[in-house]
Amino acid sequence: MPLVPGDARALIASRLRPSPIPGLSEIRLYAPDEHSGLGRFSSTPPYWAYAWGGGLALARHLAAHPEIVRDRRILDFGAGSGLLAIAAAKAGATAVAATDIDPLAQAAIALNAEANGVAVTLLAGDLTAPDAALPNVDVVLAGDVFYLPKVARRTMPFLIRCAAAGMTVLIGDPYRAPLPRGKLRLIAEYPVADMGRAKGAGPATGAVFSLPPPET
């Protein structure tokens, strides 16, 4: 039986605890430990339970350059934990929305926003669907949305549509293979922790890119 929103919130709140994020001590996210047992109540990979390298890099960039989002309307696309939505809100965004198709991620976003004392609006639905309307925002933030080729094939057309409509599109990624680097402009790099790295491997390089509007 699928989880309903109240069940998801209760599960996350009972098994995870708000913890500071490495390099972003002003932000706390509900994070698991060895006793959380995520695999027993999540039928999908719990991407929302971790701060990934691309999101960390982009969140650090917003903290260093708050003028990017200050007084602007923001969307955290494929938000996972909602890290970028929270970082944008703390940097002075006028309004912040987040979207993720995973119901557990949606519950985590709401809990994490509350834990950080910021307001984040959840947008329902799959924005990558061909008939989905574009969000009414100024800046789209996308962290770690190119982790699989099939995800990249759905994600990139949506981001291109946003850029073509005049939105600023910023992408955070630790140089994963499906990242369409030829279509992006590198803005900055940060040493970040990232899930899946071998123990003792040291930090990954998290990169921040912009997506230029398509040439007309």
Q: DSSP character for 68?
A: G
d(CA 168, CA 19): 30
Which pLDDT belongs to residue 204? Answer: 87
pLDDT digits (tens, 9 = 90+) for 146-178: 999 999 999 999 999 999 999 999 999 999 999
Question: What domains sit in the chain, N to C, each tagged with a CATH number?
Answer: 5-210 (3.40.50.150)
At residue 33, the pLDDT reads 76
Residue 29 tokens read as 């996210």
Report the C-alpha gap between 117 and 111 in whole angstroms. Answer: 10
pLDDT of residue 7: 84
pLDDT in tens, 36-46: 676 666 666 78
Spell out the residues 6+ positions from residue 4 whose beta carbon is closer than 8 angstroms to its own.
Answer: none
Two tokens, residue 189 = 């790099």
Using a cut of 0.85, tell me whether the model's pTM lies above it: yes
